[in-house]
Structure 1
Amino acid sequence: MLFMVIETFRNQDGKAVYRRLRDKGRMVPEGVTFVSSWVSADLGRCFQVMECDDVALLQRWVTAWSDLVAFEIVPVTAGKDTAAALAGEL
């Protein structure tokens, strides 16, 4: 399953987030796969796509970063898959 992870850097401190990323890596547990990410121009938020089948693993990852980041996690589906699922009803 895919998840859009919206991270808001606490205190607008993107440098602290990138410092930890440099020193410790993403710290994702086995079973969670990083797909891609984008960072807002003001360095205040990051948008990541993560993949995993066990939401508890995402929760473990969130815990490792919660001192620096506030998270919003949204399950998502590729637009083409949604179009295919709705094709019979359109």
Structure 2
Amino acid sequence: MLYMEISSWEPQNRDKILEHFKEIKVPAGITIVNQWVDLTGSRYFILYECDDAEAFAAFNLPWSDVCYIESVPVMESTKFMSLMSKK
């Protein structure tokens, strides 16, 4: 399943966030599709594939002390429309 995550943080946590990025380890079971940084600051977007709840938790838990994470399961719109048209 694909997940779009939006991570946001308080400006005072910027240095902690930078340290986390330097040490990021992507667990087995996570395939990163792409990543983006909000140039106005304090947000990060990542699109990744994951079908393993343990990998999902291992990927997100280390960030819980420095940022807020909103995870949204997503699907390409053409695939979604194809599925819906079959109903």
Same fold (TM over 0.5): yes
CA RMSD of aligned residues (A): 1.7
* Mapped partners of 2:76, 2:53: distance in 1: 19
Q: Is the 8 A contact 1:4 1:75 kept in 2?
A: yes
User: Which stretches in structure 1 are left out of the alignment for 5+ residues?
Assistant: none
Are the structure 2 counterparts of residues 70 and 84 from structure 1 closer, same or farther at C-alpha, using a change threshold of 3 Å?
Answer: same
Looking at structure 2, the residues matched to 80 and 18 of structure 1 have their Cα atoms a distance apart, in angstroms, of: 36
- Percent identity between the two aligned chains: 28
Q: TM-score, normalised by structure 1?
A: 0.81
- Give the distance between the partners of 1:32 and 1:58, measured in 2 at CA: 7
Per the normalisation by structure 2, the TM-score is 0.83
User: Contact 2:20/2:63 (CA < 8 Å) preserved in 1?
Assistant: no
How many residue pairs get matched? Answer: 86
Amino acid at match of 1:65: W
Runs ≥4 residues deviating over 6 A: none
List alignment gaps of at least 5 residues for structure 2: none
Match of 2:62 among 54, 61, 64: 64
Work out the CA distance in 1 between the residues paired with 2:15 and 2:33: 22
Output the amino acid matched with 1:19: E
Question: What per-residue deviation string (whole Å, max 9, x for no partner) do you get for residues 46-75 of structure 1?
Answer: 111011111331112111111122111111
